[in-house]
Amino acid sequence: MAALRYSGLDDTDSEDELPPCWEQRTTKDGWVYYANHTEEKTQWEHPKTGKRKRIAGDLPYGWEQETDENGQVFFVDHINKRTTYLDPRLAFTVDENPTRPTTRQRYDASTTAMEILQGRDFTGKVVVVTGANSGIGFETAKSFALHGAHVILACRNMTRANEAVSRILGEWRKAKVEAMTLDLALLRSVQHFAQAFKAKNVSLHVLVCNAAAFALPWSLTKDGLETTFQVNHLGHFFLVQLLQDVLCCSAPARVVVVSSESHRFTDINDSSGKLDFSRLSPSKSDYWAMLAYNRSKLCNILFSNELHRRLSPRGVTSNAVHPGNMMYSSIHRNWWVYTLLFTLARPFTKSMEVTHLGRGLPLGPKSPGQSSFCFFFEED
């Protein structure tokens, strides 16, 4: 009660008075949750009434929200020159419907990433997003950062990556966001990124494998592999392998692999049903850009499914998602024909704020050739 009295909130209603060992806290988004210090757990429902609450209105005049070195939110009353960890608006909370609505009721085609994460507090979580300087990757990274996560933008072009960091900090100056170099077309760069990340001695709670190439003309990387295959699949596969120990030590953790429904329009097996390695990294004469993209997306799904099978017992889950068909991004920039088609379709597409990974459709293990994909993993 001393803390309540200090913040001017000691006049409480008996029905809402918390039992011993319970504490009322708020997220950055203004949602109220409750911490039990004896059982070391938190929950959204009031321990006595079972109601969910959120903060109503802005902070009183003269108050400002800050974050300490541990990521904990606190409040400063500049007029009376005092500091408290209790939100001064707790006296004016409003009840939310205790019945949790279904996903279909909560989210629709116009739902944004920020709305998906409403009420979520990612303070203390570390998130890596590849290809995060634009498009879906940027919106995903921004949404995580604005909800308290420490976000690392893993990008090939550091100039654009730093610009993306500045844009996020422009929305919230206290966001924990940084850029690191990662070129998926160069396996040595992937290795250097993993080494640099491990040198930070931080956890890794979410790894979003988002970066991708589309409609590229045929070319080989410095590693001697077809570029679309290496950038879209093999580079991410290598990255996950290098960071696997960090993910397991950070459990519960998650890997999100951005795939596509276009994986259904290809196969990686030969006529006898066996895996055809030549289809994964084809020669110039056998190359078709769209087919190469489809195969790389099929590899994404098979990789994610097998990764989940192997690591889920250790607390690391893996999900492959389809971000949606009707969206406008810059992925088409490599060929003028696709640029023209995307431009014509733009009035009917969703923006990147709406088309984000929070609303991605899960892709199940119903693709051909899944059983032969385990060759990408070392034996247990």
Task: For 124-140, write each residue's pLDDT tens digit.
Answer: 999 999 999 998 899 99
Strand ranges (DSSP E) for 103-190?
Answer: 126-130, 150-155, 176-181
Distance CA 289, CA 213 (A): 10
Assigned domain for 335 exists: yes
**Residue 310 DSSP SS3:** helix
Contact criterion met (CB below 8 Å) for 319 and 199 = no
Assigned domain for 339 exists: yes
Assigned domain for 47 exists: yes
Q: Based on the structure, what is the number of domains in the chain?
A: 2
If asked whether residues 225 and 322 sit together in one domain, one would say yes
Task: Give the pLDDT confidence score for residue 186 in this predicted structure.
Answer: 98
Residue scoring higher pLDDT (323 or 171): 171
Contact criterion met (CB below 8 Å) for 76 and 63 = yes
Output the domain CATH number for residue 282.
3.40.50.720
Assigned domain for 55 exists: yes
Within 13 Å and on the Cβ side, how many CA atoms surround 75?
Answer: 25
Q: What amino acid positions are annotated as catalytic residues?
A: 293
Distance CA 285, CA 226 (A): 12
Beta-bridge mates of residue 201: none
Contact criterion met (CB below 8 Å) for 129 and 205 = no
Assigned domain for 200 exists: yes
Residue bearing tokens 């890794």: 204
Domain region containing 54: 22-95
**Residue 130 DSSP SS3:** strand
Distance CA 82, CA 360 (A): 44
Please say which residue of 52, 79, 95 terminates a domain.
Answer: 95
Of the ranges 4-8, 313-317, 354-358, the best mean pLDDT one: 313-317
Contact criterion met (CB below 8 Å) for 276 and 340 = no
pLDDT tens for residues 49-68? 888 888 877 778 788 888 87
Assigned domain for 35 exists: yes
Q: Which of 96, 24, 89 is nearest to 58 (CA)?
A: 89
Distance CA 216, CA 342 (A): 16
Distance CA 190, CA 179 (A): 14
pLDDT tens for residues 72-113? 778 888 888 888 888 888 877 777 654 454 444 456 666 677
